[in-house]
């Protein structure tokens, strides 16, 4: 849980988005770290491919709406 909080603090401090990949998102959604991320509004994905796909969609949305 402290890693989740610290990640959000750094994200806000440096105005940089964070995306986190962890197998716990699907294997143990009640894990305190995963729950903390969800409560803090951080996008957490089950694997790196899901993160890449989310970035791709966000990029394409930005291009279309620029």
Per the structure, how many domains does the chain have? 1
Of the candidates 2, 12, 17, the residue with the CA atom closest to the CA atom of residue 59: 17
Of the candidates 17, 29, 16, 25, the residue with the CA atom closest to the CA atom of residue 47: 25
pLDDT for 48 = 94
- The pLDDT tens digits of the residues spanning 15-53 come to 998 889 999 999 999 999 999 998 998 889 999 999 999
Strands 19-21 and 43-45: parallel
Q: Taking the mean position of all CA atoms in its chain, how far away is CA 6?
A: 13
pLDDT for 12 = 93
pLDDT for 66 = 85
Distance separating alpha carbons of residues 22 and 1, to the nearest angstrom: 13
Residues 6+ apart with CB under 8 A from 49: none
Q: Which residues form the domain of 32?
A: 2-64
């Amino acid at each position: 849980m402290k890693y989740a909080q610290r990640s959000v603090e750094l994200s806000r401090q440096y105005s940089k988005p964070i995306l986190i990949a962890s197998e716990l998102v699907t294997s143990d959604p009640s894990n305190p770290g995963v729950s903390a991320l969800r409560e803090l509004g951080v996008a957490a994905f089950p694997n790196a491919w899901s993160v890449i796909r989310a970035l791709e969609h966000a990029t394409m949305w930005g291009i279309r709406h620029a």
